[in-house]
Amino acid sequence: MHPSSRVADISLSLTLALDARAKALAAEGRDIVNMSVGEPDFDAPAVVQEAACKAVRGGKVRYTPAAGTASLRKAIAEHVSKTRGVSFSADEITVAHSCKHALSGAMLSLCEPGDEVLMLLPAWVSYVEIARIAGAVPVGAPPRADCGPNFAAIEKCITPRTRGVLLNSPNNPTGYVWTRAEIEELGRIAERHDLWILSDEIYRRLIYEGEKDTSPVSISPALRARTVIVDGASKSYAMTGYRIGFVAAPRDIASGVERLHSHLTGCPNAVSQDAYEAGLRSEPVEIAKMVEEFGQRRKFLLAELGDMGLRTPWPRGAFYAFPDVSPWLDERGSGGFCEDLLEQQGLALVPGSAFGVDTHVRLSYALSLDKIKIATQRLRKFLAQNAKSPASAKR
Ligand code: GLU
């Protein structure tokens, strides 16, 4: 018996694998600082926790409709309409088991075998694999030097087989937030080449310096009609383990995802649906506090990285920093860098190779300032001990 060709060469998510490795090393007694996984270290808001307990105690633990409860779909439709400034109805919302699940449902609903899908590098580790699972061909478009969108490179990657583009703003792993002008430019490209846009907006609440996130659906009715939003509770409500997300899309795509999920998973977790709805309806105070705390950590971390001589695209959203470590790399690239760093200093990062950019590494600052301080001391020591050449290390 052999695994099918469909799964044979699918890799295990590197972010999750590294997180598991860091936790296993810590369980063995090693002193590890884990900056690998992107997971808020805060509790879910009180109102969310209470709603989850109430659902369990009240017996609201049965199957729900495959697309989610009517009241949650309505709450999400209202939330998306308000935050994106465009009206969505409940039947354009399909609730999913997570943002990842929403994304895979959307990709399966959008792609024919052999369709090319543009990945705007650096791109989160699971996009490529999810596209491949859907039978599509991921095509990476390299970024500008500051990790923002490189429209010339995007145009160059488009062929007659290109069907769609994956947008992620704020971006994982860089924290880059697309400007409205950039989204408009992507929209013009999408219209010119008749592409759909799959817009992963999971980090949209985690945004700093008064920045504003823009969704393609907010630009024009024409772009709304070719955009599928995926979003969820994990990052902005600190609800990672609850596993709850959604698709907001034109009806035929939302219903495609519903029909697909009705066979694959039945329905999203009933308890998490109630918990998410409580969060959506009350705008919990904890969220603003969490964002403020992330903002402080970000400032500290970026100052430290700069002081170490690392060039880092300035992250205006999400909770990642993505410095260029090329002067410290050998032939093993960013993967070797991260292995040595974990071995020598007990600091777990994610290699940029996981995101299609092998010259960088990703640090998640979704952990306490005290831990970030220890992490930066370790990184500083590692860089000093492993400089490939003094001249390049000073850059
Ligand atoms: N999205 C987070 C990350 O990039 C969580 C792990 C994952 O699903 O990749 O670290």
Amino acid (one-letter) located at 138: P
pLDDT of res. 389: 57
pLDDT of res. 243: 98
In the reported structure, the alpha carbon of residue 395 is separated from the centroid of ligand 1 by a whole-number distance in angstroms of 30
Taking the C-alpha atoms of residue 196 and residue 162, their distance in angstroms, rounded to an integer, is: 10
Which of 12, 13, 14, 15 to probe ligand 1 with, by most ligand atoms within 8 A of CB? Answer: 15
Dihedral Cα 318, 94, 215, 226, nearest 10 deg: 140
Amino acid (one-letter) located at 263: H
Nearest atom (ligand 1) to Cα of 16? 6
pLDDT of res. 394: 42
Span 47-282 CATH architecture: 3-Layer(aba) Sandwich (3.40)
Residue 165 in contact with residue 197, Cβ under 8 Å? yes
Burial (Cβ within 10 Å: 0-12, 13-18, ≥19) of residue 385: exposed
> Domain-by-domain residue ranges, the chain?
5-43+286-385, 47-282
Using a 6 Å cutoff on CB, does residue 38 contact ligand 1? yes
pLDDT of res. 391: 45
Burial (Cβ within 10 Å: 0-12, 13-18, ≥19) of residue 107: buried
In the reported structure, the alpha carbon of residue 58 is separated from the centroid of ligand 1 by a whole-number distance in angstroms of 32
Q: Output the CA–CA distances (angstroms, integers) from residue 262 to 233, 252, 266, 275, in the order listed.
A: 21, 15, 4, 21
Q: Which CATH class is domain 5-43+286-385?
A: alpha beta
Same fold, 5-43+286-385 and 47-282: no
- Using one digit for the tens of pLDDT, what is the confidence trace for 264-292? 999 999 999 999 999 999 989 999 999 99
Using a 6 Å cutoff on CB, does residue 12 contact ligand 1? no
Nearest atom (ligand 1) to Cα of 124? 4
Which of 11, 18, 36, 37 to probe ligand 1 with, by most ligand atoms within 8 A of CB? Answer: 37
Query: Atom 2, ligand 1: which residue's CA is nearest?
Result: 38
Q: Output the CA–CA distances (angstroms, integers) from residue 211 to 84, 176, 219, in the order listed.
A: 15, 11, 17
- Using one digit for the tens of pLDDT, what is the confidence trace for 198-233? 999 999 999 998 888 999 999 999 999 999 999 999
Using a 6 Å cutoff on CB, does residue 15 contact ligand 1? yes
pLDDT of res. 395: 41
Q: What is the DSSP string of 223-248?
A: HHHTEEEEEESTTTTT-GGG--EEEE
Taking the C-alpha atoms of residue 146 and residue 168, their distance in angstroms, rounded to an integer, is: 16
Residues with pLDDT less than 50, the chain: 390-395
Using a 6 Å cutoff on CB, does residue 172 contact ligand 1? yes
Taking the C-alpha atoms of residue 316 and residue 207, their distance in angstroms, rounded to an integer, is: 6
Nearest atom (ligand 1) to Cα of 240? 5
Nearest atom (ligand 1) to Cα of 364? 10
